[in-house]
């Protein structure tokens, strides 16, 4: 089986729970550390799937790696190679497939209730789950690309996830581990303090409250979704 390519855009925003999930299922994967200057692959065809993680930059920034990443996503979708995006990764997918990424109405940082849409695609990915507490850290959001189905939404962000066939893009973070949450709170403490007047930004103490239990529930959601996604991998 060809490996799954995981693309990291910031040193603190690795694959988290997803890496453990792949290892548990015996799936080969390799990490391209864009933040460390790793070269991008020239083709998506060397992989069974592509995964894009989060990052603090905007997909609209003038960064040299963004255009080739958008082309990789387009090539993968055209070749029926499944793509999975988390936050920035979901925004990259949306832009590559014709959507628009711009400022969200408010910044979201911390835990927030996410509603699962009432449609067949949402039930395919999330089963009978109607809502769950997701993790957020974003100031921008995407519109739905043509042909996409909205899967998730929240009070402060209409498009929290979309699907196009076997391709799945998240605005929220389902890949989190407790260690990642704590690290982000440490690194992003100033951003939290500057944005605390937003109704969707929580103080560090609230973000880290009951963290073990919250992460356990989030991991269960992620495991269910990732189980569906890997069924589409090219083998």
Q: How far apart are CA 110 and CA 53, in angstroms?
A: 17
* Residue 150: burial class (beta carbons within 10 Å; 0-12, 13-18, 19+): middle
**Hey, what are 64's tokens?**
């040299």
* Percent of the chain whose pLDDT exceeds 90: 99
The string of pLDDT tens digits covering residues 135-165 is: 999 999 999 999 999 999 999 999 999 999 9
Quick one: average pLDDT of 81-86?
98
| Structural domain spans, the chain | 4-230
User: CA distances (Å), 60 to each of 10, 109, 112, 146, in order?
Assistant: 16, 21, 26, 19
Position of tokens 């409250």?
Answer: 209
User: CA distances (Å), 49 to each of 21, 68, 175, in order?
Assistant: 14, 16, 17
| End-to-end Cα separation, the chain, in angstroms | 5
The CATH number, out of the four listed (3.30.70.270, 3.30.1330.120, 3.40.50.880, 3.90.209.20), of the domain defined by the range 4-230: 3.40.50.880
Residue 234's pLDDT band, with cuts at 50, 70 and 90, is confident
The string of pLDDT tens digits covering residues 178-196 is: 999 999 999 999 999 999 9
DSSP H or E stretch at residue 93 = helix 88-96
**Hey, what are 97's tokens?**
């497939």
């Amino acid at each position: 089986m060809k490996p799954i390519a995981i693309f990291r855009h910031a040193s603190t925003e690795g694959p988290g729970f997803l890496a453990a999930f792949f290892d548990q299922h015996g799936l080969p994967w390799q990490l391209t550390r864009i933040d460390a200057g790793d070269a991008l692959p020239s083709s998506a065809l060397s992989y069974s799937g592509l995964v894009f993680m989060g990052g603090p930059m905007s997909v609209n920034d003038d960064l040299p790696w963004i255009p080739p990443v958008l082309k990789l996503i387009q090539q993968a979708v055209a070749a029926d190679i499944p793509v999975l995006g988390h936050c920035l990764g979901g925004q990259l997918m949306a832009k590559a497939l014709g959507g628009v990424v711009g400022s969200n109405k408010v910044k979201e940082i911390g835990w927030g209730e996410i509603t699962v849409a009432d449609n067949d695609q949402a039930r395919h990915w999330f089963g009978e789950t109607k809502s769950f507490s997701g993790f957020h850290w974003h100031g921008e959001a995407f519109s739905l690309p043509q042909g996409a189905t909205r899967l998730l939404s929240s009070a402060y962000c209409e498009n929290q996830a979309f699907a196009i066939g076997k391709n799945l893009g998240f605005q929220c973070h389902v890949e989190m581990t407790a260690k990642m949450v704590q690290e982000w709170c440490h690194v992003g403490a100033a951003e939290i303090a500057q944005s605390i007047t937003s109704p969707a930004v929580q103080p560090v103490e609230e973000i880290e409250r009951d963290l073990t239990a919250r992460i356990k529930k989030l991991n269960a959601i992620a495991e269910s979704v990732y189980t569906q996604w890997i069924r589409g991998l090219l083998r």
